[in-house]
Amino acid sequence: MKQLLHLEILYLSYEILIRSCTELNQQDEDLQKMEELAQKMEIWFGQFFDHVIVNDNLQDTCAQLLSAIRKAQEEPQWVSATWISSDMEAVGPLV
């Protein structure tokens, strides 16, 4: 069980917020609500997002998303020392 718990620590999340186009049709209420919610999420939880993409163009948005995914896979991720319990040291090194 300890080994399983230790492996779970290795999988960190990389949070990406994809916002709708900034120049919305003001008559589309659903899109306005989505944009307002995205703005609130960015204000309230912005510190948890690793990347924010504005969906102005589908092809550009997909390219930015793929770039962000590659970056998350290639770059080392930060882990708080408090997330790793001293009990984990007893498990030993990863194989």
CATH number at residue 60: 3.40.50.300
- Within a domain: 81: yes
| 53: containing domain | 15-86
Rounded Cα gap, residues 56 and 35, in angstroms: 12
Strand pairing partners for 17?
52
- Within a domain: 4: no
- In this structure, are strands 16-20 and 51-55 parallel, antiparallel, or unpaired? parallel
Contact call for residues 6 and 92 (beta carbons, < 8 A)? no
Tokens matching residue 65: 């998303």
- Within a domain: 7: no
- Within a domain: 27: yes
- Within a domain: 73: yes
- The pLDDT value recorded for residue 22 is 63
63-67, 72-76, 79-83: which range is least confident on average? 79-83
Contact call for residues 52 and 19 (beta carbons, < 8 A)? yes
Task: Quick: pLDDT tens for 32-64.
Answer: 888 888 889 889 998 888 889 988 889 999 999
Burial of residue 39 (CB within 10 Å: 0-12, 13-18, 19+) is exposed
pLDDT surpassing 90 at residue 28: no
- Within a domain: 77: yes
Residue 93: name the closest of 5, 3, 14 by CA.
Answer: 3
Task: Quick: pLDDT tens for 10-25.
Answer: 556 788 888 877 665 5
Give how many domains the chain has, as a whole number.
Answer: 1
Provide the whole-model pTM.
0.59
- Within a domain: 46: yes
Rounded Cα gap, residues 38 and 91, in angstroms: 41
- Within a domain: 93: no
